[in-house]
Amino acid sequence: MVKKYAYNYPQIETLSLFPDVNKSLLVLLKSLNKDEWNLPTVVPGRTVKDLTAHLLDGSLRRLSNCRDNYQTDVPKIESYDDLVNYIQGINKSWIEATKRLSPQILIALLEFSEEWVYEYFKTLNPNDTAKYSVAWAGEMESQNWFDIAREYTEKWHHQMQIRLAVKKPGLDSKELFYPLIDTFMRGLPHAYRNATSAQNSGIQVNITGQGGGVWCLEKTDLNWQLVKTLKNKPEAIIEMSDNTAWQLFTDSMPKDVAIKSIKIHGNKLLGEVILNMRTTMR
């Protein structure tokens, strides 16, 4: 992983979106019946209740570690795999423990934990170094704005996984959807880090829908970078919907299903690298 990427892109402001996403989650959870809480989600082995508990865990751990500077153990992390294994281990132990909690208790805990996280984030300077780096983007060090945006994507996509399971409408307004996709696109340079191409070669990613837009990736003498415009005609053009994009990047849709709704023009092999991009730590 690298220390920082030169994005040549502006910061993404997501902090103001937390109250709406949090409110939507609480309204959704309060509407569920007993059977819906036990429905399976697209995350293997995880029910709606499990993902709800996972959201609570993320908030409580962040408050404890970052706001309160409290940590009971300091794991030895020497690689990306070590980090993934550590995260998956604590996720599993938490979900097992919270099986003893009722949905009503989880909702009550979320009502204050999500507000506390939002209030904590408001105290941070967006340009300062975050306590957590955004590892899926290849960063060993990130600024607070990016860590906050990453946390926004966590709250958005897990709520969407719950909504898929209970067949409820999604968080698909442009206001909430576009910042999520824009944040995910910051992972493109890392996803393409091993892709071979000539200097100044470019890739254009067209996402359609409310969360859509156009993102360009260009090969420099050292790495791939996000740029506003390409110097040359793109070697590959990738087209997909915002719905396909978020599900593919969060492991909510298998690659063999996603590829059926993705169009790649030009260099097909180069374009298909995007199928391996992940914005979750699994």
Domain extent listing, the chain: 15-171, 188-276
Residue 236: is its pLDDT beyond 60?
yes
> Over the chain, what is the mean pLDDT?
92
Residue 5 pLDDT:
45
Helix/strand/coil for 104: helix
Rounded Cα–Cα distance for residues 160 and 154 (Å): 10
Query: Which CATH code of 3.30.1050.10, 3.20.20.450, 3.40.50.410, 1.10.10.10 fits the domain covering 188-276?
Result: 3.30.1050.10
Edge-to-edge strand list for the sheet holding 263-266: 224-227, 213-219, 202-208, 236-241, 263-266
pLDDT band of residue 77 (cuts 50, 70, 90) is confident
**Percent above pLDDT 70 for the chain:** 96
Of 15-24, 88-97, 201-210, where does mean pLDDT reach its minimum?
Answer: 88-97
Classify the C-alpha dihedral 221-227-230-234 as positive or negative.
Answer: positive
Same fold, 15-171 and 188-276: no
Residue 248: is its pLDDT beyond 90?
yes
Residues making up the chain, counted from first to last: 282
| For residues 116-122, average pLDDT | 98
**Percent above pLDDT 90 for the chain:** 82
Global pTM reads 0.92
Residue 51 pLDDT:
96
**Between β-strands 202-208 and 236-241, what pairing exists: parallel, antiparallel or unpaired?**
parallel
Residue 4 pLDDT:
54
15-171 maps to CATH 1.10.10.350? no
Which tokens hold the place of 197? 């191409």
User: Which residue shows structure tokens 């220390």?
Assistant: 3
pLDDT in tens, 184-204: 999 999 999 999 998 999 999
**Torsion-angle region of 234 (φ positive above 0: left; ψ -120 to 50: alpha; else: beta):** beta
pLDDT band of residue 95 (cuts 50, 70, 90) is confident
